[in-house]
Amino acid sequence: MSEAVTETTGENTSHQPGGWWATIREALRGSHQDYTSGPIGRAILLLAIPMVLEMLMESIFAVADVFWVSRVGPDAVATVGITESLLTIIYTVAMGLSIGVTAMVARRIGEKNPAGASEAAAQGILLGVGASIVIAIVGVPLAPWLLGLMGASPEVLAHISYARVMLGGNVTILLLFLINATFRGAGDAAIAMRTLWLANGINIVLSPLLIFGVGPFPRLGVVGAGIGTNIGRGIGVCYQIYRLLRKDARVAVHRSDLHLRPAVMGTLLELSGTSTLQVFINTSSWIGLIRILATFGTDALAGYLIGIRIILFALLPSWGLANAAATMVGQSLGAKNPARGEQAVWRAGLYNMVFLGLVGLGFLLGANVLIAAFTQDPAVATVAVRCLQIVSAGFVFYAYGMVLTQAFNGAGDAWTPTWLNVLCFYALELPVAWLLSVKLGWGPSGVFTAITIAFSAIAVSSGLLFRRGGWKTRRV
The mean pLDDT value for 83-100 works out to: 89
CA distance 471 to 473: 5
User: What is residue 54's predicted lDDT score, i.e. its pLDDT?
Assistant: 82
Q: Report the candidate in 21, 25, 24, 2 with the shortest Cα–Cα distance to residue 12.
A: 2
Q: Which stretch of 17-31, 210-224, 320-334, 446-460 has the lowest confidence by average pLDDT?
A: 17-31
The confidence band for 4, taking pLDDT boundaries of 50, 70 and 90, is very low
**Is it the case that residue 222 has pLDDT exceeding 50?**
yes
Element (H, E) at 190: helix 189-212
User: What is residue 8's predicted lDDT score, i.e. its pLDDT?
Assistant: 39
The CA–CA distances, whole Å, from 396 to 20, 349, 350 equal: 24, 10, 10
User: What is residue 356's predicted lDDT score, i.e. its pLDDT?
Assistant: 93
**Is it the case that residue 10 has pLDDT exceeding 50?**
no
CB 307 within 8 A of CB 388: yes
User: What is residue 2's predicted lDDT score, i.e. its pLDDT?
Assistant: 34
CA distance 211 to 119: 41
User: What is residue 121's predicted lDDT score, i.e. its pLDDT?
Assistant: 95
Could you tell me which residue, 11 or 213, shows the higher pLDDT?
A: 213
**Is it the case that residue 19 has pLDDT exceeding 80?**
no
Task: Identify the DSSP state of 377.
Answer: -
The mean pLDDT value for 233-249 works out to: 93
pTM, to two decimals: 0.87
CB 108 within 8 A of CB 36: no
Model pLDDT for residues 35-67, shown as the tens digit of each residue? 888 889 889 988 988 988 887 777 776 667 777
**Is it the case that residue 11 has pLDDT exceeding 60?**
no
Other Cβ atoms within 10 Å of 329 Cβ, number: 33
**Is it the case that residue 187 has pLDDT exceeding 80?**
yes
Alpha-helical segments (H) within 73-186: 74-110, 114-149, 154-157, 160-168, 170-186
Element (H, E) at 158: none
CA distance 181 to 425: 26
**Is it the case that residue 70 has pLDDT exceeding 80?**
no
User: What is residue 62's predicted lDDT score, i.e. its pLDDT?
Assistant: 62
**Is it the case that residue 437 has pLDDT exceeding 90?**
yes
Q: Which stretch of 159-168, 183-192, 268-277, 310-319 has the lowest confidence by average pLDDT?
A: 310-319
Q: Assign residue 291 a region (left: φ > 0; alpha: ψ between -120 and 50; beta: otherwise).
A: alpha
Model pLDDT for residues 298-331, shown as the tens digit of each residue? 888 888 888 888 888 888 888 889 999 999 999 9
CB 179 within 8 A of CB 98: no
User: What is residue 299's predicted lDDT score, i.e. its pLDDT?
Assistant: 85
Element (H, E) at 438: none
The confidence band for 476, taking pLDDT boundaries of 50, 70 and 90, is confident
**What whole-number percentage of the chain has pLDDT above 90?**
62
Residue 207 CA, distance from chain mean position = 24
Q: Which stretch of 50-54, 174-178, 419-423 has the lowest confidence by average pLDDT?
A: 50-54
The confidence band for 13, taking pLDDT boundaries of 50, 70 and 90, is very low
User: What is residue 422's predicted lDDT score, i.e. its pLDDT?
Assistant: 95
Query: In a 10 Å sphere around its CB, with 0-12 CB exposed, 13-18 middle and 19+ buried, how is residue 386 labelled?
Result: buried
Amino acid at position 53, single letter: L
Number of residues that make up the chain: 476
CB 422 within 8 A of CB 342: no
The confidence band for 18, taking pLDDT boundaries of 50, 70 and 90, is low
Terminal CA-to-CA distance of the chain, rounded, Å? 34
**Is it the case that residue 7 has pLDDT exceeding 50?**
no
Percentages of the chain per state (helix, strand, coil), in multiples of 5: 85, 0, 15
**Is it the case that residue 3 has pLDDT exceeding 70?**
no
**Is it the case that residue 17 has pLDDT exceeding 70?**
no
The confidence band for 202, taking pLDDT boundaries of 50, 70 and 90, is very high
| 46 backbone dihedrals φ, ψ, rounded to 5° | -60, -35
Model pLDDT for residues 250-296, shown as the tens digit of each residue? 899 988 888 999 999 999 999 999 999 999 998 889 888 988 988 88
Q: Which stretch of 146-155, 179-188, 430-439 has the lowest confidence by average pLDDT?
A: 146-155
